[in-house]
Structure 1
Amino acid sequence: MSSFRILLVGGGLLCAISAIYVRNLQDGSAVFPTLRHFQPRDIRIRDAEGAIRRFAEGLQFKTVSRSNGSNETEGWDAFSGLHAHLTHSYPVVFSKLRLEKVSEWSLLFKWPGRDSSLKPVLCISHQDVVPATSESAWTQHPFSGARAGGYIWGRGAQDVKITIFAMLEAVTALLDQGFQPERTLYLAFGHDEEVGGGHGARAVADVLRKRGVQLAFVLDEGGPLLVDGLQPFIRDKAVALVGTAEKGYVSMDVSFRGKGGHSSLPPVDGTQAVTQLSRFLTDMHAHLPIARIVPPTLEFLQAVGAASSNPVISFVLARCASWPLKPLLALFLARQPGEVAAGVRTTVAVTGVTTHPAAGNVLPSLATAQLNFRYLPGEVGDFAERYLQNLLPRHADVEVKVHERHEMASAVTPVTGSAFAIVHQAVQETLAKDRVVATVPFLLTGGTDSKHYQDLCGGQTLRFMPVAMNRTAGDLKRIHGMDERVAEGAFLDAIRFYIRFFQLALGGDE
């Protein structure tokens, strides 16, 4: 999952809420629905030890995608080895489901349903992982698949080989039980999600598109189950963060030309290319895009209010769609740490600066900054270009180049729809156990493979990873970081989630 960040309300918000509490907010009523409560089910896993072992062995394959100039995946022998391991580990799935390899390395399974008039459901994961830096500093080697201390260690334990193995374990269990789905299920496991999915998920989507496949909805990776809640606002409940939208992705180069020459004779009139670029970047950070609360951040705040045991928070956040609270909250949240601010504005970040020529005693005549925009849902396609044009000096020798990868934000999947209800029920029945779980929609600020399937499902996409994590204990920092791991019990719970999710989403005899 590409640099995934979860929207969390900053601790200082409590002060703002208290100040606004006395205002007249009767015009803003809650729109987040009251979600039905479901009792947990006892879903037993017949071969729990074998399931853990198969998953741990799958983490040993170094299926790395590396972000570089070409955004290529490496280690094809590792992918081949992973495919052989999956074939050996899940013979029932490979014999009874239809498997197609797309772009050689992406896997597309089809489990035909009995009623061809029903639109299929697509579940997504990906085989590739990000590189593991400082391997010697890891507690367990990142590609060892070690089992220690009740955890399974290795790159992909959280992001996101865990869902590949949990899904295949769940399908195996249902096949063994004789489950016959009414609705067709597709499983798509891409091989290059960490670098955009351009060769994997995009090609799989093209295959389905050419065959005229229209999907009921898509379930992809996304938010986890936060067992420690959303401190300080939800303390007494776990929180299942279900992404109902993800931001867009636009990169651009801004290049300034100026006077070159020898470094011993620098110009003093501000015309040097690097000087012009630095002034522009300073101006850009002083005039960031306007902060605003749009869905699904609006629903996120309302859901947090509904789940909070603090009456002030509940009262105010239930009315966060009202004036003047909505614009005031947007301004406040925009001044919080990055993971909060990113949920209320289209962000722009400098991801690289280059100069030409590059030499120790030469003044560059060209200075370029690479900028990456992450669009809020509803943003117009040429927003980045118009935003930059308003900041660029009129008479400068400057060029703006848009990169080929240009993705708009996804549609927002409604929390009142059947897809959200199915995920919520599966969460309640398999992940709640001895704890209360609040299902909370949110906005993914990173990207997933689901973006390639949006036209096939009418934008009906949910992004949830049924894996228990503890934010307070630092579990989220392990994603793309050091010592990535997952508790063995959390992996088994993920299997239980998918078993129940498939029953609910596909219909048929339980």
Structure 2
Amino acid sequence: MPTGATDPPAQPEPPGPPRAVAALQALVRLPTVSHRDPGLVDTAAFDAFHAELARRFPLLHARLETTRVGGHGLLFRWPGADDARPVVLMAHLDVVPVDEQAPWQHPPFGADLVDGAVWGRGTLDDKGPLVVVCEAVESLLENGFTPAQDVWLSFGSDEEVLGASAVAAVEELRRRGVRPWFVLDEGGAVASEALPGVAAPVAVVGVTEKGVTSLLLRAEGRGGHASTPARNGPTARLARAIARLDRTSMPARTPEPTLELFRRVAPHLPGPLRAVAANARRLGPLLTRALVAAGPETAAMTRTTLAVTTLTGSPALNVIASTATAGVNARLMVGDTVEDVVAAVRRAVADDSVAVEVLERGEASPVSPVDDPAFALLEATTREVFPDAVPAPYVMMAATDSRHFTAICDRVYRFAPLRMTKAQRAAIHSYDEHVRVDDLLDGVRWYRHLLEGLPG
């Protein structure tokens, strides 16, 4: 027998990813895609999501009261030392469909951990933010922590289709007599390359959001065989209406949250722009013109936007359409109403034979206060975790479930405490969506600080 030979020492198993990362991977792998047609929804994926969430965060489910709302929506109550100023933390568990032709570097539901990031649909919108909330609560429960105030977790299941689960959550809270001190949902982020000339990341907190209204332009006629066309048919009249609408802009102005945003970033701007931004309120019209001239993204910060999105016409190439329609997506700026938009569209179209119908009506949300203890708490928490960032309010362009909570709360804010590059923000609802592990863990720290800092 050989002598002096020994077996090599056993190598320890390499450590797995942090718990929050593993949880996010497991949840991203569940394709919780929402659809406007309920018949297309994979309810098994949502059931599996609930089960996986309970497996990953057992104390949260064991110690918090759980209520299911609006199909697969979830509402948790974490009793605090007091219930005078309850807080609602929000997220949603549904995602948008995946374009199978898009050039994803990694499978959209694979949740691959590559180059220090988790890749996949929902990592930023909105399973990543959901996980950091849950991980913060779970870790605080492990430490025996009790929040100073009641904390509610409201997780919607159909946010991406403007669904009803958030409405059901609001109704449940109203039924219980809960009027939150503040509500915090997704929205802003710790955004790098947020504004031209600003090198520092800007931690933008949405204090309002644009309203979402859907309109339909409809032109009708006799239709018929394509071999005998008549002038000025439905498609021609609709095309003329679209061209007129494309040349139309709603009045531009800079709302108060945007003025405050520029005042706060002014020290980080180069010289000429710094003076304009620092005096944004006094030079509001000049700032508005500059934003409009800078391109469509900044112009959208100043006005209600109108976008033609869908078209329908003839069912066949050899048939003249008897009805032609165009869908118009309007994003309402604070200060404009649905009636203002409809009137502007009718003036632009200038054709009584083209009907303008309101399919979905959504006004801009009320503006939540900035000079307020609740906003100050968000700001102080952000400075603690992201000391290089500039906290600032802004008008959110997209829609969130939080708009429903303005019915029971005067302080509704929209902020996901995750660093996001410009490329990451562009990947939301697109391809190559991903979140860096370090940024996810910073998000957990942010929520822990927030919950520990709730005033008694």
Give the structure-1-normalised TM-score: 0.82
* TM superposition shift of 1:71: 6.7
Do 1:245 and 1:444's aligned partners in 2 also have CA atoms closer than 8 Å? yes
Q: Distance in 2 between matches of 1:457 and 1:296?
A: 19
Aligned-pair CA distance for 1:296:
1.9
Report if the CA contact (8 A) 1:257-1:273 is conserved: yes
Of the three residues 203, 209, 214, the one matched with 1:251 is: 214
In 2, distance between residues paired with 1:462 and 1:288? 28
Answering whether residue 304 of structure 2 is matched by residue 346 of structure 1, we say: yes
Distance, in Å, in 1 between the alignment partners of 2:395 and 2:158 is 22
- Answering whether residue 36 of structure 2 is matched by residue 75 of structure 1, we say no
Q: Secondary structure of 1:120's partner?
A: strand
The share of aligned pairs that are identical, in percent, is 34
Q: Indicate which of 77, 81, 92 corresponds to 1:126.
A: 92
Tell me the distance in 1 between the aligned counterparts of 2:444 and 2:90.
Answer: 15
Asked if 1:199 is matched to 2:164, the reply is yes
Aligned to 1:35: none
Contact 1:145 1:152 (C-alpha < 8 Å) held by counterparts = yes
Counterparts of residues 418-433 of structure 1 (less than 5 Å): 418-432=373-387
> Which deviations, in whole Å up to 9, do the C-alpha atoms of 1:46-102 show, x marking residues without a partner?
x97223212211211110113x5x377622111111111111111111111111111
Q: In structure 2, which of residues 143, 165, 170 is the aligned counterpart of residue 177 of structure 1?
A: 143
Residue 388 of structure 1: aligned partner: 345
> Hey, what does 2:8 align to over in structure 1?
none
Range with greater deviation from structure 2 (494-503 or 313-322): 313-322
Question: 1:127-179: per-residue Cα shift (whole Å, max 9, x none)?
Answer: 00111222784222111122121111111111110111111111112112222
Q: Who is 2:286 aligned against? A: 328
Q: Deviations over 1:444-499 (max 9, x none)?
A: 111000011111102x111111111222xx22122111121111111111100000
Letter in 1 for 2:419: A
Unaligned runs of 5+ in 1: 1-46
Give how far 1:229 is off: 4.4
- Distance in 2 (CA, whole Å) between partners of 1:406 and 1:231 is 31
Contact 2:277/2:287 (CA < 8 Å) preserved in 1?
A: no
Change (3 A) 1:309 1:289: closer
- Asked whether the 8 Å contact 1:65–1:72 carries over to 2, the reply is no
> Quick check: 1:454 aligned with 2:406?
yes
Query: 2:63 & 2:91 partners in 1: Cα distance?
Result: 20
| Worse-superposed segment, 342-351 or 252-261 | 252-261
Tell me, what secondary structure is at the counterpart of 2:408? helix
- Name the counterpart of 1:272: 233
Matched to 1:494, the amino acid is: G
Residue aligning to 1:465: 416
Preserved CA contact (<8 Å) 1:135 1:142: no
Match of 1:414, SS state, is coil
Tell whether the 8 Å contact from 1:64 to 1:73 is kept in structure 2 after alignment.
Answer: no
Check if 1:316 corresponds to 2:282: no
Which residue matches 1:157? 123
On the 8 A contact 1:48/1:492 being kept in 2, the answer is: no
Normalising by structure 2, report the TM-score.
0.92
Return the letter of the residue paired with 1:98: E
Separation in 1, partners of 2:255, 2:24? 39
Stretch of structure 1 that moved more, 255-264 or 443-452: 255-264
State the alpha-carbon separation in 2 of the partners of residues 187 and 54 from structure 1: 17
Query: Conserved in 2, the CA contact under 8 Å of 1:295 and 1:377?
Result: no
Change (3 A) 1:52 1:287: closer
Given candidates 360, 382, 386, the residue that maps to 2:317 is: 360
Give, in whole Å, the separation in 1 of the partners of 2:69 and 2:184: 20
- 2:347 partner SS: helix
Counterpart of 1:397 in structure 2 is 353
The aligned counterpart of 2:368 is 413
> Which residue identity lines up with residue 284 of structure 2 in the other structure?
K
Equivalences for residues 9-48 of structure 1 within 5 A: none
Partner of 1:51: 20
Distance 2:23 2:236 in 1: 56
Amino acid at match of 2:333: L
For 2:38 and 2:244, locate their aligned partners in 1 and report how far apart those are by CA, in whole Å. Answer: 31
Cα distance in 1 for partners of 2:182, 2:135 equals 22
Distance 2:161 2:449 in 1: 31
The 3-state SS of whatever aligns with 2:44 is helix
3-state DSSP of counterpart to 1:267: coil
Matching residue of 1:23: none
CA distance in 2, matches of 1:381, 1:144: 41
CA shift for structure 1 position 313: 2.2
State the Cα RMSD in Å.
1.9
1:373 aligns with 2:346: no
Deviation at 1:373, TM superposition (A): 0.9
User: Which residue in 2 is equivalent to 1:493?
Assistant: 442
What CA distance in whole angstroms lies between the structure 1 residues aligned with 2:251 and 2:133?
41
Q: 1:213 to 1:143 in 2, by over 3 A?
A: same
Give the structure 2 partner of residue 300 of structure 1.
Answer: 261
375, 379, 395: which one pairs with 1:443?
A: 395
| Cα separation, 2, equivalents of 1:188 and 1:141 | 29
CA contact (8 A) 1:224 1:465 kept: yes
Unaligned 5+ segments in structure 2 are 1-15
CA distance in 1, matches of 2:67, 2:120: 28
Deviations 1:197-238 (A, max 9, x none): x22111111111222211111100011112x44454222x22
Moved over 3 A (4+): 70-73, 228-232
Aligned residues of 1:253 and 1:369 also touching (Cα < 8 A): yes
| Larger RCO (CA under 8 A, 6+ residues apart) | 1
**Aligned-partner Cα distance in 2 for 1:381–1:264:** 41
Contact persistence 1:258–1:366 (CA under 8 A): yes
Whether contact under 8 Å (1:233, 1:304) holds in the other structure is no
Query: Displacement of 1:188 after TM fit?
Result: 0.5
The size of the alignment, in residue pairs, is 441
The one-letter code of the counterpart of 1:217 is F
